[in-house]
Amino acid sequence: MKRVALGAIVGSALLIGAAYATAFLPGGTPEWAPWLFVTGMSVMMVATMAMGAARNDRIGRLVIPFALVLVILLGGFWLVLALPPADPTDPSLWLGLPPRAAIVLYGIGFLPFLLVPVGYAVTFHEQTLGPGDLERIRDEALAARGTMPLSDRPGRGLMDDDGEGTGEGRR
Amino acid sequence: MTGPGVGMALILPQVEELPHVVEPTIVWVAVAYFAVVTLIGAWATRQTRTAGDFFAAGKGIGLVALTLSVMSATLSGFAFIGGPGLVYSIGLGAMFIVLPAALTNAMGAWVLAKRLRLMAEVRRTITLPDVIGARYRSPLAQGLAGVAILVAVIGYMATNILALGLVIDAVFGIGLAWGIWLGMGITMAYAVGGGIVAGIYTDVFQGSLMAVASVLVFLFTLQAGGGLGGISTTILEQDPGFLGPWGHLTPIAALSFFFVFGMGSLGQPHVVHKFFMLRDPLKLRWYPLLTTTALIVSMLLYFGVGVAVKSLELQGEMAPLANPDDATPLFLLGYTPLILAALVFSGVAAAIMSTVNSFMNIGAAAMMHDIPVSLGRRVNNELLWGRICTVIISVAAALLAQHSGMLVALLGVFGWGLFASTLVPAVAIGMNWEGATRAGAVASISTGLGITLVFETLAFFGFYSFPVGVTVSGLSLVLSILVFFGVSHLTRDTAEATLDPDIRVVMKA
């Protein structure tokens, strides 16, 4: 899973980079450049979430919210790019906004809120941290580190309050 | 507003004078607000006895404190003054700055929260450069990240302190210079005494104030504009592009906002370093839901005031604004009860002070801890030096705000984009990918630092600007990501050697 997510991040960064590069072409940004940008950006954000959420190289039930968010972002942005501008003489409003503005604010801006933070909470114990995990992981990490003093390692945080640096965890 | 200048420069805190609103009610509410903040600061100072307390809230913080402090630190005064002004100026395109909020907190939680919290357990890390140094076994990478943070912090602080001075001058009518030093003095007093503990608990108070004020003002914007439908109909008749999907921006410029403020959120040290402090990591479960809710609620004012003022102007009820930043003050004074206006002005000061306080703390950590450590040195009394560095950074930023003229605007431009391009690849991706290498991290941080500083400076002085829609922050972020992957691939044989076994355990957790 993580390899797929990392590959998707690289691919989407290339798409975004290509979209930016088109702006340097003679004649300015072509009409298809925003399509590259929204595709790359949507994929990158979902792939980054998947990369972070993967545990034992699996994302489990999170595949559902991630897939839905990808559909919302890609579908929303593509719709916004494809739909014609609102007709000022006969404005139809969706929940008080012109259609394309409504897609941006309610769809892209709000709908993921109903999926992503809820998905995080629902799958927290299986996908992020369960009871006892913290102590287990800390013990495994301390065991893996062996006997080398923490003060000899780059990135070691604060000295202990007595200035000695025992390196035995934060508290 | 679609020229090359449209970019991060538009999201600065206000740097122009605000209309004076000196009214007894507003003054007394502001005095009461500052008194509460001072009391919290005094309490926090009594709780702060060690460097661990000062930089990492020693005994840790609870979920509500984490939620509100992240929300407060994320929103500067821009959310209440500059943001609505930007919506008023360029329409819906300005919403792309806040649009990723539905995703960013959960993304940060999955990508960073658990791993940073575990790093605090295993390595006692207190800063993102600490994490970089530990992850790559590289003092150089840690030092470079510390330099990037210090540069961005000074710039961010200078612009925010200037904004705070303007707000205090608008409320008390004491002049900009006194406003700058009064605001900075109060913030510094509690930051120096109580460190991050004071910051967190003033944020709780300030965040609550901001959320309540935002909801109330939003209801008044709907009332003044005839509901959202009425506002839209009025605007569509005379300025349909305003409510187009990109507002008056080009699509690429609006999408750059979404990209930089979405992915870039993973590299904002004043926000993500609070993950080190959560007392019970199992409480992270509710962090994205609560923080996202708080952010969305607090953003109602940003959108509501911007579109309502535009609608009122088109109806002829308000004169066109000479300065877009006047949108919030003039709407408050004309269309809301005075007590609510008073709350919002205190809320603006609250938002700025909470952001400045966070920057003071991480800037002091970079100066006192990250940069010396990268040079092989370590100060002995970290609490004392933390306090001294907080004072030095604060005074430097206030002097810059008061005397540097347009330089302060240039420094402010660096902020978010510099954090994003230097820290997202090395921290957010690096803490999740065992194939990342030290050379990849150093190259990506250098790329972000170089591109941002060089091209923002060239654009600011008018020597060279990227084409329409291309923002320095967006381009530097995507290039630093690509450089990170590219150099890590080229040096992949070294990946194993730059990853300590305990860090590997944390990454796999």
Whole-complex ipTM: 0.88
B473 phi and psi angles, rounded to 5 deg: -65, -40
Helix (H, G, I), strand (E, B) or coil at B280: coil
Give the 3-state secondary structure of B33-81: HHHHHHHHHHHHHHHCCCHHHHHHCCCCECHHHHHHHHHHHHCCHHHCC
User: Residues for chain A: how many in total?
Assistant: 171
pLDDT tens digit string along B427-461?
A: 999 999 999 999 999 999 999 999 998 998 898 88
Domain ranges (residues) in chain A: 2-85+93-128
Burial letters B201-237, b for 16+ CB under 10 A, else e: bbbbbbbbbbbbbbebbbebbbebbbebebbbbbbbe
Encode pLDDT of B324-343 as tens digits. 878 888 898 889 998 888 88
Q: How far is CA B91 from CA B162, B240, B250, in A?
A: 26, 10, 12
B3 within some domain: no
First to last CA, chain B: 47
> Are A51 and B111 a contacting pair at CB < 8 A?
yes
Helix (H, G, I), strand (E, B) or coil at B403: helix
Q: ∠ at Cα A25 (A35, A22), nearest 5°?
A: 20
The confidence band for A87, taking pLDDT boundaries of 50, 70 and 90, is confident
CA-based nearest residue to B106, from A1, A55, A65:
A65
Pairwise pLDDT comparison (B508 vs A79), residue with the higher score: A79
Of B228, B251, B482, the CB nearest to A97: B228
Of residues B281 and A87, more confidence is placed in B281
Give the bridge partners for B278, in sequence order: B61
**Which amino acid is it at B332?**
L
More confident residue, B481 or B55: B481
Contact by Cβ (8 Å): B279, B62:
yes
What is the structure's pLDDT at B6? 38
Please tell me the predicted confidence (pLDDT) of residue B374.
85
Whether residue B158 contacts residue B397, with contact meaning beta carbons closer than 8 Å, is answered with yes
Position A165 scores a pLDDT of 39
Q: What is the per-residue pLDDT for B415?
A: 75
Give A64→chain B minimum CA distance, Å: 15
Tell me the percentage of chain B whose pLDDT exceeds 70. Answer: 94
Q: Which of residues 64-83 of A touch B (CB under 8 A)?
A: 69, 80-81
Residues with Cβ within 8 Å of residue B274, at least 6 apart in sequence: B61, B66, B69, B70, B73, B200
Tokens in use for B26? 């507003």
Largest CA distance in chain B: 68
Which residues sit opposite A58 in a β-bridge? A55
Beta bridge partners of A97: A94
Cβ contact (<8 Å) for A112 and B111? Answer: no
Tell if the CB–CB gap between B505 and A137 is shorter than 8 Å.
yes
Does a structural domain hold residue B75? yes
Distance between CA B375 and CA A117 in Å, rounded? 41
The answer to whether B168 and B349 have CB atoms below 8 angstroms apart is yes
* Tally of domains within chain B: 1
Q: Inter-chain contact A133–B509, Cβ cutoff 8 Å?
A: yes
Q: Specify the pLDDT at position B355.
A: 80
Q: Is the pLDDT of residue A89 over 80?
A: no
Tell whether B24 is within 8 A of chain A (Cβ): no
Contacts of B282 (CB under 8 A, 6+ apart): A129, A131, A134
With cut-offs at 50, 70 and 90, classify the pLDDT of residue B315. very high
What 3-state DSSP class applies to B247? coil
Rounded average pLDDT over B130-144: 91
Contact B252/A20, CB-based, under 8 Å?
A: yes
DSSP β-bridge partners for residue B61: B278
Which residues in A lie closer than 8 A to residue B229 (C-beta atoms)? 93, 96
B382 CB-side CA count, 13 A: 29
CB atoms within 10 A of CB A142: 17
In this complex, the residue of A45, A52, A110 whose CB is nearest that of residue B262 is A45
Residues whose CB is less than 8 angstroms from the CB of residue A125 and which lie 6 or more positions away in sequence, other chains included: A131, B285
What span, in angstroms and rounded, lies between the C-alpha atoms of A112 and B141?
A: 35
Q: Please compute the mean of the pLDDT values over residues B315-321 and round it to a whole number.
A: 91
Which residue in this structure is represented by tokens 């007392």?
Answer: B279
| pLDDT above 70 for B251 | yes
For chain A, say whether B35 makes contact (Cβ under 8 Å): no
Residues of A in contact with B468 (CB under 8 A): 23, 28-29
How confident is the prediction for chain B on average, in pLDDT? 86
CB pair distance less than 8 Å for A145 and B500: yes
Chain A CA closest to residue B288: A117
Angle at B398 between CA B212 and CA B66, to 5 degrees: 35
Note whether residue B176 is domain-resident. Answer: yes
Interface of B with A in 258-277 (CB under 8 A): 258-259, 262-263, 266
Taking phi over 0 as left and psi of -120 to 50 as alpha, with beta for the rest, B462 belongs to left
Of residues B407 and B109, more confidence is placed in B109
Say which of B252, B433, B467 has its CB closest to residue A37.
Answer: B252
Interhelix angle B438-460/B407-423, rounded to 10 degrees, is 160
Rounded mean pLDDT of B154-160?
83
- Angle among Cα B493, B498, B504 to the nearest 5 degrees reads 110
Query: In sequence order, which ranges of chain A are alpha helices (DSSP H)?
Result: 2-22, 33-53, 63-82, 99-102, 111-122, 133-145
CATH of the domain at B291: 1.20.1730.10
B60/A96 Cβ within 8 A: no
Give contacts of A 139-158 with B, CB under 8 A.
140-142, 144-146, 150, 153-158
B1 part of a folded domain: no
Q: What is the pLDDT of residues B203-237, one digit of tens each?
A: 888 788 888 889 999 999 999 999 999 999 999 98
Classify residue B381 by its DSSP letter: -
CA B247 to chain centre: 24
For residue A94, what are the β-bridge partners?
A97
Cα B406 versus chain centre, distance: 21
The pTM assigned to this predicted structure is: 0.89
B493–A contact, CB cutoff 8 A:
no
3-class secondary structure, A97: strand
* pLDDT tens-place string over residues A110-154: 999 999 999 999 999 988 888 888 888 888 888 887 766 555 555
Rounded average pLDDT over B382-390: 86
In contact, B387 and B191? CB cutoff 8 Å: no
Q: How far is B480 from chain A (nearest CA, A)?
A: 10
Q: Is the pLDDT of residue A156 over 70?
A: no
Q: Tokens 């540069």 map to which residue?
A: B151
Mean pLDDT of B149-174: 84
- Nearest CA among B252, B175, B242 for reference residue B20: B175
